Structures are given as structure tokens and as C-alpha cells.
Amino acid sequence: MAAEETDGRKHVIKTRFTELFGVEAPIVQGGMQWVGRAELVAAVANAGALGFITALTQPTPEDLSKEIARCKEMTDKPFGVNLTILPALKPPPYAEYRQAIIEAGVKIVETAGYKPQEHVDHFKEHGIKVIHKCTAVRHALSAERMGVDAISIDGFECAGHPGEDDIPGLILIPAAADKVKIPMIASGGFGDARGLVAALALGAEGINMGTRFMCTKESPIHQKVKEQIVANDERATDLIFRTLHNTARVAKNAVSQEVVAIEKKGGAKIEDIAHLVSGQRGKVVYEEGDPDYGIWSAGMIQGLIHDIPSCQELVSRIVSDAEELMANRLSRMLGGKAAAAAE
């Protein structure tokens, strides 16, 4: 890592990740259903970080093309598109979404989910850099073999799907860093400078933040939901779908508690909870601001979120505070040790 002066501003942390993807800050706003829209992504990009439009938030590939164009009107900085591939009885037209991304001239894609090989191959044929998001070292190594450019390794603290191994970031990140050769960013439980410094120390090249970016001025969700995130502490999440082996971490509310209660009775099937976990109900939460209307994603990082800044304020604060931590607090500790040894 190195730091150098840019545009007269405070030093910026540089890593293999920032160099590869052409961004100023080693910070990523990953794909979030209903949240990863142009206004947030452009604000993240303009702040010097890397943002991702969520492809499947858009109802059709044509709508995705329009959203990408809308984002380009608001920023000339690098940004990407997230394409999450999940098994389904009636899957979305993934190939058409993929083609929309290619035709729009997007140069960075975040993939997640089930066996992305055909998508990775197609994107790479068109010179697109691919970050694959995964929740286990074995999955990261598999993605590396597929030819992706970087890994986002997602610890148990994260919002959304943390996998079934229940390995927290403090173990998962260095375990992956010991084996993965390509650049890797750390995801799950990150939201401030302390997390960034810790991730770099553990072997990552940057951090991915979801819940923290949800709680910014430009985030396209209702103000009441943002205020709920600020009010929540680190205990305010539930793990649902555990009995279905498709674990998801969501904000704790009346609906998530009902789902947990049904699952605890044993033998729960998706049909038993489908009316509670509908994605459309979650969409209404973000649009209308009733945090108890449906299931919505949020991570344990809620306990470290205390304000609703702009994306520029957030990114600048994290980078400058991280630099202060590394240059002053940690170096003083090292100096103290060296001085003691010299006596």
C-alpha cells in the first residue's frame, strides 16, 4: 500500500484494488436489491469509491440500459453493475441483462450467486473486469479459477446471504488472503475507518459496504428506514431461512420475528413463510418507510452507524480517519515498542 497526494486533497490509500479498478478509495458499494440505483451509485463514484447498480432491481433489461445511461449523466467516474445469479423455477433472462450491460459499455461487473462461469466468460470476452462475491474460501478459489479479476469475501456479519458456514470476517478474510492470489475486498460488518484498517491488516485490499451506504443522503430509500438503521444496535438483525439452508440476515422487526418463530417449530417450508418474505413487501418498506411492513436487509454494522451523511462525507471521513489511524495511533504503538526494546 502507498499513499500520495491527489488534486491537493488529503492522501488517498492505494491498493492493488484501487489500481486495478481505477478508483481513488478502497471502498465499494456492492449490489443491493431495490437500493442500488443510479443516484446512489453516481454519488459513490463521485466520492471516489466504486458503486454498483443492481441489475435485477430493474424490471427488464431495457430498464437496466436506461438506468446505466441515467448514471452516466450524473458521473464520469468508474461504476459497475451487479448481476446476482440465483436458482429459480422461473429465472430472470440473465443473458439479456448481461447483454444490456455489455452494450451499455460498462467495464466493471460484480457477480454473485450460483455458478457464474458463462457470465464471467462472456464479460471477459468484452474486456469487462469481474468481481465475484462469495462466502467461503473454497468458493473464492473456484471463482479465481474461473478467471475473475477480484474477489469480494463476505463474512457472517453481513446483510443478505452469509452462506451456511457461519465464519465471521476476522477468520474468513485472512483465511482467504492466505490462498487467494488476486485482489480481494472484505465484505460484511464494515462501515468506518477502523473496519477499513482492520481489513487491510487482515489481507484484504479494500472494503465493501452495503448497510452503511443505505444510510446516506443519496440512498434511494425512505428517510424513516435510514433513521431506523441509526436507532438499531448490533443485535437488531435476524437470521431467516436457516432451516431451508438459504440463510439470510435481515433487520429485526415484527415480520422477521414471525418467520423465525415459524422456522423454530420445525418442518417449515417456503410455502409457510412466502407471504411474509415477499420481495415486494420489502420494496414497500424502502418506498413508504414502514420498517415493520416486510423483510428488509441490514447487517450487524447497524450498531456502528450513528448518522446519515452524504456519500462524499462518508467516503472522505473513512479514508482520512483510516490514514490518521495508521499514521498516528498504530505508528505510536510501534514506536513505543521499538523504544522499549532499545532501552
- Beta bridge partners, 213, equal none
- Inform me whether the pLDDT recorded for 89 exceeds 80: no
pLDDT confidence of 86, banded at 50, 70, 90?
Answer: confident
| Side chain identity, residue 244 | L
Which set of grid coordinates corresponds to residue 282? 420489502
Helices (H), the chain: 16-21, 38-46, 61-74, 94-103, 117-125, 137-146, 169-177, 193-202, 211-214, 223-231, 254-264, 270-277, 279-288, 311-324, 330-342
Mean pLDDT score of the chain, rounded to an integer? 93
The stretch 9-25 carries a mean pLDDT of 88
- Inform me whether the pLDDT recorded for 106 exceeds 90: yes
Distance CA 218, CA 283 (A): 17
**186-213 pLDDT, tens per residue?**
999 999 999 999 999 999 999 999 999 9
Which set of grid coordinates corresponds to residue 34? 431495490
- Inform me whether the pLDDT recorded for 131 exceeds 50: yes
| Side chain identity, residue 202 | L
Check residues 265 and 12 and name the one with the higher pLDDT.
265
In the chain, which segments carry CATH 3.20.20.70? Answer: 2-221
The stretch 131-159 carries a mean pLDDT of 97
The stretch 326-334 carries a mean pLDDT of 87
What CATH class has 2-221?
alpha beta
- Inform me whether the pLDDT recorded for 224 exceeds 50: yes
pLDDT the model gives residue 192: 98
pTM, entire model = 0.93
The stretch 101-118 carries a mean pLDDT of 95
Task: Say what percent of the chain tops pLDDT 70.
Answer: 94
Which set of grid coordinates corresponds to residue 42? 453516481
CA dihedral 115, 117, 123, 125 (to 10 degrees): 180
Which set of grid coordinates corresponds to residue 267? 418442518
pLDDT the model gives residue 2: 46
